[in-house]
Amino acid sequence: MRHVDFSPLYRSTVGFDRLFTMLDSLGQPETAQTYPPYNIERTGENAYRISMAVAGFSEDEISIEAHRNVLTVKGERKDENNSEGSELLYRGIASRSFERRFQLADHVEVEGATLKNGLLFVDLKRNIPEELKPRKIAITSSSEKAKQIEAKAAA
């Protein structure tokens, strides 16, 4: 796969360093992490949900942490005590530990998480601060402005 050089863009942009780093990391193959499988869905205009298949894990074996635009979901299985005399012939349900990381956009916060029927649901919401939302600018005519300036100068 080709590597894209973003250095010319660094010269003409300010504040987009994190964006270019994220784009650069997309081109590099990860360690082919496929466990556990997950879905990301949009549930509203500013609401999202991550659904992860974590069959066999309980609430106390899963930890969720959000820190600096990175959501980390970890699962660590406790040792299973097989009953005396039983032997496991086939293991189809994975019991390995996992750690899955998701890059969150700015102003995306974790609202909560639920575990139901072997699926972990992590609800996310984008809360844009009021000062970053678009605002309407009133337009005044230039003749009104000129009269006000002349009135102040004459007084």
Is 85 a domain residue? no
Rounded Cα distance between 52 and 66, Å, is: 16
Rounded Cα distance between 28 and 151, Å, is: 65
**Statement: residue 103 has pLDDT above 70:** yes
Report the predicted TM-score, pTM, of the whole model to 2 decimal places. Answer: 0.63
Are residues 42 and 10 part of one domain?
no
The number of beta carbons lying within 10 Å of the beta carbon of residue 123 is: 15
pLDDT digits (tens, 9 = 90+) for 36-72: 899 999 998 889 999 999 988 889 999 999 988 889 9
pLDDT digits (tens, 9 = 90+) for 107-151: 889 999 999 998 999 999 988 888 877 888 888 877 655 555 555
How many residues appear in the chain?
Answer: 155
- Give the Å distances, CA to CA, from 117 to 18, 23, 53, 54, 55: 37, 35, 9, 9, 8
Domain housing 46 = 33-80+90-154
Residue 140 corresponds to which tokens in the numbers above?
């005044």
Are residues 68 and 47 part of one domain?
yes
Are residues 48 and 5 part of one domain?
no
Is 11 a domain residue? yes
Check: CB of residue 120 under 8 Å from CB of residue 110.
no
Are residues 60 and 100 part of one domain?
yes
